[in-house]
Amino acid sequence: MAVRSFELGLSGQCDVVEFHLGSALASGAEARASRSLQEIIPLEYKRGKPKAHATDEVQLCAEEMLNVHIERGMLYYGKPLRRTYVPFHPPLQELTRETARPLHALIESRETPSRTRRARENGRASRDCFIELNPNVEFSSAER
Q: Give the torsion sign (CA, 23, 16, 3, 41).
A: positive
**52 near 140, Cβ under 8 Å?**
yes
- In this predicted model, which residue has the larger pLDDT, 135 or 140? 135
- How does pLDDT run across 24-47, given as a tens digit for each residue? 444 555 545 556 777 888 999 998
Looking at the predicted structure, is the pLDDT value of residue 64 above 90? no
DSSP H or E run through 88? none
pLDDT at site 61 = 85
Given this model, what pLDDT does residue 120 score? 54
pLDDT of residue 75: 94
With a cut of 90, say whether residue 7 has pLDDT above it. no
Task: Name the pTM for this structure.
Answer: 0.65
